Amino acid sequence: MMPQHAGWSLIVPLKPLGRAKSRLVAVSAGERRSALVLAFAEDTVAAALECVAVRDVAVVTDDPLAARRLARLGARVVPDAPRGGLNAALAHGERVVRERGARAAVAALGADLPALRPAELARVLTAAGGYPRAFVADAAGVGTTVLTAGPGTALAPAFEGASRARHRDSGAVELTLAGVESVRQDVDTGADLRRALALGVGPRTAAGVRAVTVSGVSPG
């Protein structure tokens, strides 16, 4: 087993809202889509901050609205200085977090987990504590929703596309826990959103979906 630590520092990357989740255009476009993406992030961060295994959350973003709203929830906002994509943002966030504590345990968490349950995240992070690096695959079995690195271990993120295979090939241990569906259900498409809604999303996402529905567009 890995040595115990004081809790996980989560790193949550978030693109500028106007450029995020382009595959949700069939559900909602323009400002409504941006509002929905922000709602996903707010519910994700709020749930993470309620998790007993989490010490703090750092959101890497250059979006001013998202920065204000997520800071209001209690997250630390880190400007996306590299502006080199998802993995560069995560590596930058890791450096910033570990400036405070070189041996911090860190975890990358997707910003699109609106059904996230704090207790399920705690189960994942507790299991991850037994390995230098570990990850959880997304519900589709192709991508990754969580990647962890224990104290003194580099995160080495390889997200986007078929990241499950890349993380496994890099030596990270895949965690295959039962009963953590909310940790695995990210949202890229309308079908993903329907599945997240079936699990039960957070209040901001629920309100955002109601606004879309009222406008005459169905999440399906």
Domain of residue 92 covers: 8-213
Binding residues: 144, 163
Specify the pLDDT at position 32. 83
Q: Is residue 214 very low, low, confident or very high in pLDDT (cuts 50, 70, 90)?
A: low
Domain assignment present for residue 56? The answer is yes
**Number of separate domains in the chain:** 1
Least confident of 33-37, 44-48, 167-171: 33-37
Chain mean pLDDT for the chain: 92
Query: Which CATH number fits the domain that encloses residue 188?
Result: 3.90.550.10
Domain assignment present for residue 1? The answer is no
Domain assignment present for residue 220? The answer is no
Domain assignment present for residue 78? The answer is yes
Q: For residues 37 and 54, what is the distance between their CA atoms, to the nearest angstrom?
A: 23
Q: Which residue has the higher pLDDT, 211 or 159?
A: 159
Domain assignment present for residue 106? The answer is yes
Binding residues for phosphoenolpyruvate: 144, 163
Domain assignment present for residue 91? The answer is yes
Domain assignment present for residue 84? The answer is yes
Sole residue written with tokens 């590299």: 82
Segment 72-131, tens digit of pLDDT: 999 999 999 999 999 999 999 999 999 988 789 999 999 999 999 999 999 999 999 999
**Global pTM value:** 0.93
* pLDDT higher than 80, residue 213: no
* pLDDT higher than 60, residue 26: no
